[in-house]
Structure 1
Amino acid sequence: MNFQKRLLRAEPNFRILAKLWQVNWLYVLLICVLAGVGYGALYSAAGGSSRPFAGPQTIRFAFGMVMMICVALTSPRVLVRLAWPLYGLSLLLLVAVLRMGHVGKGAERWLIIGGMQVQPSELAKIALVLVLATWFHRISYRRMVNPLYLLPPALMVLLPVGLVLKEPNLGTAVIIGVVGATIFFAAGMRLWQIVLLLAPLPLLGKFAYAHLHDYQKARITTFLHPESDPLGAGYNIIQSKIALGSGGMWGQGYLHGTQGQLNFLPEKQTDFIFTMIAEEWGYVGGIVVIGLLMLMVLGGMLIALRSRNQFGRLLGLGIATNFFLYCAVNLSMVMGTIPVGGVPLPLISYGGSAMLTVMFGFGLLLSAWVHRNSTFGETASDPS
């Protein structure tokens, strides 16, 4: 500890070394292990080849690792200053999607930038966490009673939710809303405020269902009765359940899963990657992967609890909640417990936008850990 303090008081280069020393490398190792699981699954999804999935995904992960470490070393004061520009950029990109987005599977969710598909809704989730943590860091607990202090952050949540719903992308919109609500609760929202906030949800749910697209309503109907259209809307979930069941306790063996290797399993490199893992490695392999994912979530929660400043606590909680919802929605979807939606399994599913934004989020989480003893701005938030 004394060695680290001497480094922090030394020249800039040595201060960087001190921050590198404080990075939670056990958490970084866990990230690498999950990325390794993803490489193996994508290699199998391509029939035993690194192209076209595993190789490009590894390059993205390597780039994401460099970005993650750079963000982890960034001071919270710098992150606070970057919060609003990043949030504004995410909103502009979401608006651009509606005007000139790439259409895929009935929705406009991607922008083509430099020949690469970018999904702005992924960035919006991380930007929202950052800007809400910045807002509530500067507001005392006593001010939370005043609705005027809650109206701006409520609009911060509703803007990206509305734009993502317009794409339409119901699954991501729900995740953004839940992440925002979690940060509100952790920031000190009173119980009566939560009750008032939740009261109109049944009416909003009925209104939202009435305005869903036909294919979204079909997903809900198929979720309840998948056998009613086994070759159409119900095909994905039926094949997913077959693959999960055929894996048994120990699986059919790596590169030997029948549903995956014979291409019966749809979207096996993205949404249904866990199904392919469970078919080849069985119940035991699936539980191991779920255990690794839950360790990531618990590690993120512990980082949030260890932070001495409100910004770090809310930032860590928001990133960990976002990661948990990613995992929970994807796993529930492939097991048939919720309607099918386009939510990937982080660090494992194929996808550039999801990989890079998740790694950026982990960089923010690690920054909260590296600077966990900082108390910047704590007294300034209290009313005089």
Structure 2
Amino acid sequence: MTMSALTRPGERDRLVVKFSEIDWLFSLALCLIAGAGALMMFSIAGSSWEPWAGAHLLRFGILFVVMVVLAMVDLRVWFAIAYPLYGAGLVLLVLVEAIGDVRMGAQRWLNLGPLGSFQPSEVMKLGIVLALARFYHSISADDARFSWWLLIPVLMIAAPVLLVAHQPDLGTAMLIAMTGVAVVVLAGLDWRVIAAGIGAVAVAVPPVVMFVLHDYQRKRIFTFLDPESDPSGSGYHILQSKIALGSGGFLGKGYGLGSQSQLNFLPEKQTDFIFATLAEEFGFVGCFSVLFLYAVVIFMALRTSALAHSHFGRLSAAGVTATFALYVMINGGMVMGLAPVVGVPMPMLSYGGTVMATVMIGFGLVQAVRVHRYSEVTSGKGTFL
């Protein structure tokens, strides 16, 4: 075989063109958020790369390469794997019910032996977006607005939500549900249906809280409403987080000088409450800067969604962006005492490889939508399926 046959200049040129189409400003914003997270982990570990900052940067570096590679994948491949990925996610969630590991009273993990363990619910965060995007790609705008077809996405969302909620993992179940609903709304759901849905949820919340949720989940909600009722118990997390937020003031106490985090008053300071750590050391200015970076990422991802020529591309990019935005909103509300503590981390800023992998793979899809934004994805005969 000749060298020219091995290198295939035409294909190499196409890869170069695809590489140049990646949104590098978007990628830079992700790097800055991950860098800010590493900076805070270095501080709260006593100016040490161990045990969090070094591992955080290493994971991000690997997953950044994964994102770039996934950006080269044609949208028709993403389209083809949409239903299989969703189906595989459901099977894995059922396996968790049957043989999953139990930790801290929850059955959420599958043990992979020497490879460690993972949470199949993370697969579903991307699977639900792709499956719904493919479904709405194949039906008309009128059917998406309101028809009996709506029962199918309702069932597609309900199945994983109920399985995840049963583990129990209320935070992830809420995230999957809200992401799925966001895709359905973005697909063109009639506003009257949206209003009716909001009303139904409002009516259903009180009985669900009182008779469906576990005791500890119900306690979290009551604690959110009145954290001072148990300041040294269930209200401790929220109160310490508020102290850290308030004590930072406008400019913060200074890098490495946050008393709540440095003296271990603030729980989960490297994961769920790292934003409170940031607020204590860098104040309002630091928080605003990081939130601005999140806003840039969300805006640029939505712009990519708007530029896509295919309905599948638009909805899949928007769905991934909705998941990311919900992470930020839920964690921010939780840290500020505006939402119950449900164990949702701040993406890219918090320590943890599972959520970072989900986010970066999702952004690989967003970048693929940008790189292949002129591609037409069809669902008729002769398509790439």
Aligned to 1:187: 187
- For 2:224 and 2:359, locate their aligned partners in 1 and report how far apart those are by CA, in whole Å: 28
Are the aligned partners of 1:87 and 1:131 in contact in 2 as well (CA < 8 Å)? yes
- For 1:332 and 1:235, locate their aligned partners in 2 and report how far apart those are by CA, in whole Å: 16
Question: SS at the partner of 1:64?
Answer: helix
Are the aligned partners of 2:312 and 2:377 in contact in 1 as well (CA < 8 Å)? no
Q: Give the partner amino acid of 1:46.
A: A
Q: Deviations over 1:121-161 (max 9, x none)?
A: 22211111011111111212133356342222221111111
- For 1:52 and 1:379, locate their aligned partners in 2 and report how far apart those are by CA, in whole Å: 52
Shift in Å, 1:196: 4.3
- For 1:98 and 1:204, locate their aligned partners in 2 and report how far apart those are by CA, in whole Å: 26
Aligned to 1:6: none
Aligned to 1:367: 368
Aligned to 1:165: 165
Correspondence 1:68 to 2:67: yes
Aligned to 1:263: 264
Q: Give the partner amino acid of 2:265.
A: F
- For 2:163 and 2:14, locate their aligned partners in 1 and report how far apart those are by CA, in whole Å: 42
Are the aligned partners of 1:38 and 1:348 in contact in 2 as well (CA < 8 Å)? yes
Correspondence 1:13 to 2:25: no
Question: SS at the partner of 2:163?
Answer: helix
Aligned to 2:131: 131
Q: Give the partner amino acid of 1:229.
A: D
1:139-178 → structure 2 map (5 Å cutoff): 139-144=139-144, 147-178=147-178
Bigger shift: residues 113-122 or 287-296: 113-122
| Alpha-carbon spacing, 1:257–1:359, altered in 2? closer, same or farther (3 Å) | same
Shift in Å, 1:252: 1.3
Bigger shift: residues 148-157 or 265-274: 148-157
| Alpha-carbon spacing, 1:72–1:249, altered in 2? closer, same or farther (3 Å) | same
Bigger shift: residues 136-145 or 103-112: 103-112
| Alpha-carbon spacing, 1:239–1:46, altered in 2? closer, same or farther (3 Å) | same
1:302-321 → structure 2 map (5 Å cutoff): 302-321=303-322
Q: Give the partner amino acid of 1:37.
A: A
Are the aligned partners of 2:145 and 2:188 in contact in 1 as well (CA < 8 Å)? no
Aligned to 2:48: 49
Are the aligned partners of 1:45 and 1:261 in contact in 2 as well (CA < 8 Å)? yes
Bigger shift: residues 140-149 or 267-276: 140-149
- For 1:181 and 1:362, locate their aligned partners in 2 and report how far apart those are by CA, in whole Å: 20
Q: Deviations over 1:198-242 (max 9, x none)?
A: 443234323421111111111111111111111110111111111
Q: Give the partner amino acid of 2:107.
A: E
Correspondence 1:288 to 2:283: no
Q: Deviations over 1:23-70 (max 9, x none)?
A: 111111111111111111122232221111122222221221121111
- For 1:119 and 1:51, locate their aligned partners in 2 and report how far apart those are by CA, in whole Å: 25
Bigger shift: residues 203-212 or 58-67: 203-212
Bigger shift: residues 144-153 or 222-231: 144-153
- For 1:361 and 1:145, locate their aligned partners in 2 and report how far apart those are by CA, in whole Å: 26
Shift in Å, 1:115: 4.8
- For 2:60 and 2:26, locate their aligned partners in 1 and report how far apart those are by CA, in whole Å: 15
Aligned to 2:4: none
Correspondence 1:205 to 2:205: yes
- For 1:133 and 1:275, locate their aligned partners in 2 and report how far apart those are by CA, in whole Å: 35
Shift in Å, 1:331: 0.5
Q: Deviations over 1:163-221 (max 9, x none)?
A: 11111122221221121111112212223333444443234323421111111111111
Are the aligned partners of 1:309 and 1:378 in contact in 2 as well (CA < 8 Å)? no
Aligned to 1:106: 105
- For 1:85 and 1:339, locate their aligned partners in 2 and report how far apart those are by CA, in whole Å: 34
Are the aligned partners of 1:118 and 1:352 in contact in 2 as well (CA < 8 Å)? no
Q: Deviations over 1:94-113 (max 9, x none)?
A: 22222333334432233333
Q: Give the partner amino acid of 2:186.
A: A
Aligned residues between the structures: 372
Could you list the runs of 4 or more consecutive aligned residues of structure 1 that deviate by over 4 angstroms after TM superposition? none
Aligned to 2:276: 275
- For 1:345 and 1:334, locate their aligned partners in 2 and report how far apart those are by CA, in whole Å: 10
Question: SS at the partner of 1:11?
Answer: helix
- Stretches of structure 1 that go unaligned for 5 or more consecutive residues are 1-8
- For 1:379 and 1:86, locate their aligned partners in 2 and report how far apart those are by CA, in whole Å: 20
Q: Give the partner amino acid of 2:289.
A: V
- For 2:339 and 2:247, locate their aligned partners in 1 and report how far apart those are by CA, in whole Å: 21
Bigger shift: residues 349-358 or 172-181: 172-181
- For 2:222 and 2:261, locate their aligned partners in 1 and report how far apart those are by CA, in whole Å: 26
TM-score, normalising length: structure 2: 0.92
- Stretches of structure 2 that go unaligned for 5 or more consecutive residues are 1-7
Q: Give the partner amino acid of 1:343.
A: V
Are the aligned partners of 2:90 and 2:124 in contact in 1 as well (CA < 8 Å)? yes
Bigger shift: residues 133-142 or 271-280: 133-142
1:20-35 → structure 2 map (5 Å cutoff): 20-35=19-34
| Alpha-carbon spacing, 1:146–1:341, altered in 2? closer, same or farther (3 Å) | closer
Aligned to 2:3: none
